Amino acid sequence: MSEHPLLEVRGLQKSFDVTKGFFKKEKQYLRAVNDVSFTVQNGEVLGVVGESGCGKSTLGNLIVHLHEPTAGKIVFEGIDMSALSREQLRRQRADIQMIFQDPFSSLNPRKRVFDIIAEPLRTHRDLNKEELQQEVLDLMDLVGLNRSFLNRYPHEFSGGQRQRIGIARAIALRPKLIICDEPVSALDVSIQSQILNLLKKLQKDLQLTYIFIAHGLPAVKHVSDRIAVMYLGKIVEWTTKEELFTNPMHPYTEGLLSAIPIPDPTKRKEQRPLLEGDIPNPVNPPPGCKFHPRCPYKTEICMQVEPEFTDKRAGHFVACHHPLGAEKQAEKKL
Amino acid sequence: MEHALLTVNRLKTYFYTEAGVVPAVDDVSFSIQKGEIVAIVGESGSGKSVTSLSVMGLIEEPGKIVGGEILFAGKDLVGMSMKKMRELRGNQLAMIFQEPLTSLNPVFSIGNQLAESIRLHQKKNKREARKIGIEMLKKVGIARPDKVYDQHPHALSGGMRQRVMIAMALSCNPQLLIADEPTTALDVTIQAQILRLMKDLIEESGTSILFITHDLGVVAEMADQVIVMYGGQVVEQADVYTLFKEPKHPYTKGLIDSTPKIDEWKEELVSIPGTVPGPFEFPEGCKFADRCPFVMDKCKAERPTVTKVGKGHEVRCWLHGEKVVDLNERASFT
Ligand SMILES: Nc1ncnc2c1ncn2[C@@H]1O[C@H](COP(=O)(O)OP(=O)(O)OP(=O)(O)O)[C@@H](O)[C@H]1O
Ligand SMILES: Nc1ncnc2c1ncn2[C@@H]1O[C@H](COP(=O)(O)OP(=O)(O)OP(=O)(O)O)[C@@H](O)[C@H]1O
Ligand code: SF4
Ligand SMILES: [Mg+2]
Ligand SMILES: [Mg+2]
């Protein structure tokens, strides 16, 4: 076993220049990912949740080198990625794959299923015709696609089946890390759980590592070991999923949990407190804690000082001046 | 018994496409009482939107209502003149959509559009309309309504736009509001706000709502009555408590079981096998037969008729004949 985690992200930042007009002297930047740090161990699934625009996809894109970071570093298997040569990067690209939200636009409509799944194998591995065919068929079995679909085109498939094609392509090279960016959001409810079950089974059987991105907690709950909650470009809470669901410490996480509609009419939330307000404009984020305008627990300090992201209890990281249940947990320690 | 506000009776809306006839709404019956929230739930393509557009008189070529009646306050809307329909839409009937941007004009300010709708229905001058408009924006929970009144739609967040749409829809004091997935595009914390707002507003006004969604969690939070659609047909309808407690259609049962529950920890999620068939791929007999764990020979041969299984509880399934079967006691989806 190696010493270092599979992935280590330190102080990662990505700013987009969103200055409008030519003559504006003052540049405006949007910090889509703002000083994010975390680690992912081999064979682990990290769920990343947060509402629209909080920077989840930008984070995923940074890790697969679709974006250059503005600051900070990404260390993969102990090696700083910014120090890699082109050839090394090319090889590493085979180790990190991506599954996208929209199975409709992420597959080339002019290619047959066989060619779509075979593409990464052709680029990165030296297989003869028979081996290639066999490998593709094995992959189709693995993701539950009927072998007879081999020569069909993507448009002939339903969303769920297309997502299976995307998954087969992503696991073809047995990558060390797969970024799943909202892989089930576009699917019908009855199909979502099929795909979630498939992703979890593959992860177990092939000992894959995922970063699993989703809007809401319900979607990441099943597959994740650990969950990171993002708000306005920052990770505000990071812990095991059991801990997050039973002991949320960040007020935003609490708000996210209480906003989830419960599929049981006898448990209506008529009386439950709801988070108020909207997500602020990311170009002009509020000072202090970025969540303070919506936070029911805010005090003076929250409006002025940005809380640090620290370990509040045995690997439960929170960025909040008044983490929930902190007293309760202090009592437990005594 | 008092007359229902809306009674849809054996409605059939078909689309005559080049590829063939799509029975998008295929023998659908239900009714809505005054002040009631009725939810239609079902997966993509099940006919939810076409049902609501039929009620609104907004079906366009190549679609056509080919059978049934839509009784609204005693009058049949099927075959009503365009002019009368338009009058009705501006007054007693209102609709909001998933993406408010499609129904807001980007060129005009919020106030401009709101005032137009107010002046159309109430004889007010410009200044009075502005006052009422700002009042309404305040009522739908918009902070600084006088500022928002003069803004353009693109300057608002998705949640704010949906609030504006609700204000506009309610500005004519409709008897029936049709809401087609009004929160699907919103973040979960904003969705919770909008759902609560809608409930509060109609409690005051006594407006009935036909609420379309694919999320059973939202159904459980909002609805009095539930209509479950599959393949253009109502497969089950009941009051919300009965539906969740004793679902009688295997599809309803599958949907309920596969909806993620935040307080449930499972190795594997329950899922409905197969995929939703395309418009021309439904089986001959029961449309759900090829995905149903209870399927019998009769199901494959003959389309099920509607069976009454309890007070106000109807189901389209051959399982329930002289004896009503308890699906909760049967091993079903895994
Ligand atoms: N190329 C870009 N140029 C300018 N701004 C960008 C760019 N890409 C993303 N952003 C902005 O960065 C922020 C984070 O975007 P990102 O797509 O990472 O969010 P997300 O969490 O994935 O959201 P969603 O849930 O909607 O997918 C947003 O405010 C977005 O508008
Ligand atoms: N203009 C049209 N021309 C041809 N077919 C149509 C048209 N509009 C709808 N349909 C068909 O009618 C069926 C029902 O569509 P509808 O839009 O009512 O589904 P829905 O339940 O609202 O789905 P979603 O959840 O995706 O909104 C679908 O098979 C669709 O393809
Ligand atoms: S009628 Fe038969 S096939 Fe259809 S849902 Fe009921 S049991 Fe299943
Ligand atoms: Mg994204
Ligand atoms: Mg629809």
Nearest CA to ligand 1 atom 31: A53
* Contact between B276 and A191 using a beta-carbon 8 Å cutoff: yes
Distance CA B145, CA B135 (A): 8
Quote the pLDDT of residue A24: 64
Q: How confident is the model at residue B4 (pLDDT cuts 50, 70, 90)?
A: very high
CB pairs under 8 A between A and B: 126
Of the residues B8, B12, B28, B50, which should be mutated to test ligand 2's pocket, given the most ligand atoms within 8 Å of the CB? Answer: B50
Task: Look at residues B42, B54, B40, B55 and name the one whose alpha carbon lies nearest to residue B5.
Answer: B55
Instruction: Using the predicted structure, report yes or no on whether residue A239 has a pLDDT greater than 50.
Output: yes
Ligand having the closest approach to the CA of A55: 1
Q: Which residues of A have a CB under 8 Å from any CB of B?
A: 51-52, 158, 160-161, 188-194, 196-197, 200, 215-219, 221-222, 245, 255-270, 274-279
Tell me the CB-side half-sphere exposure of residue B307, using CA atoms within 13 A. Answer: 16
* Contact between B193 and A274 using a beta-carbon 8 Å cutoff: yes
The CA–CA distances, whole Å, from A252 to A167, A300, A323 equal 32, 18, 10
Chain B residues with CB under 8 Å of A193 CB are: 258, 260, 269-271
pLDDT digits (tens, 9 = 90+) for B83-106: 999 989 878 999 998 877 777 888
Q: Please, are residues A259 and B191 in contact by the beta-carbon 8 Å criterion?
A: yes
Instruction: Using the predicted structure, report yes or no on whether residue A334 has a pLDDT greater than 50.
Output: no
Among A33-47, A177-191, B116-130, name the most confident range: A33-47
With H, G, I as helix, E, B as strand and everything else as coil, classify residue A239: strand
Ligand 2 centroid – CA B55 distance (Å): 15
Of the residues A34, A54, A184, which should be mutated to test ligand 1's pocket, given the most ligand atoms within 8 Å of the CB? Answer: A54
Beta strands in chain B (DSSP E): 6-17, 20-32, 37-41, 63-72, 75-76, 93-96, 176-180, 208-213, 225-230, 233-239, 306-310, 313-316
Ligand 3 centroid – CA B309 distance (Å): 15
CB-ligand 2 contact for B15 (6 Å cutoff):
yes
Instruction: Give the list of residues 6+ apart from residue B235 with CB closer than 8 angstroms, or none.
Output: B228, B229, B249, B251, B252, B287, B288, B315, B316, B317
Q: How far apart are the CA of B25 and the nearest CA of chain A, in angstroms?
A: 19
* Contact between A265 and B220 using a beta-carbon 8 Å cutoff: yes
Task: Look at residues B226, B230, B152, B222 and name the one whose alpha carbon lies nearest to residue B183.
Answer: B222
Quote the pLDDT of residue A22: 67
Ligand 2 centroid – CA B75 distance (Å): 26
pLDDT digits (tens, 9 = 90+) for A161-173: 999 999 999 999 9
Dihedral Cα B119, B124, B125, B128, nearest 10 deg: -110
Instruction: Using the predicted structure, report yes or no on whether residue B120 has a pLDDT greater than 50.
Output: yes
Chain A residues with CB under 8 Å of B276 CB are: 158, 188, 190-191
Q: How confident is the model at residue A14 (pLDDT cuts 50, 70, 90)?
A: very high
Overall average pLDDT of the B273-282 stretch: 88
Ligand 1 centroid – CA A223 distance (Å): 24
Q: How confident is the model at residue A332 (pLDDT cuts 50, 70, 90)?
A: very low
pLDDT digits (tens, 9 = 90+) for A173-205: 999 999 999 999 888 888 999 999 999 999 999
Six-digit token pair at B326? 């308890």
CB-ligand 2 contact for B214 (6 Å cutoff):
yes
Overall average pLDDT of the A144-163 stretch: 90
| Amino acid present at B296 | M
CB nearest to A189's CB, from B159, B221, B258: B258
Quote the pLDDT of residue A256: 95
Q: Please, are residues B54 and B60 in contact by the beta-carbon 8 Å criterion?
A: no
- β-strand A177-181 against A96-99: which pairing, if any? parallel
Q: Please, are residues B274 and A299 in contact by the beta-carbon 8 Å criterion?
A: no
By residue count, chain A amounts to 334
- Mean pLDDT in chain B? 92
| Amino acid present at B109 | S
Nearest-Cα residue of chain B relative to residue A54 = B187
Of the residues A29, A51, A57, which should be mutated to test ligand 1's pocket, given the most ligand atoms within 8 Å of the CB? Answer: A57
**Ligand 1 binding residues, C-beta < 6 A:** A 16, 18, 30, 32, 50, 52-58, 215, 282
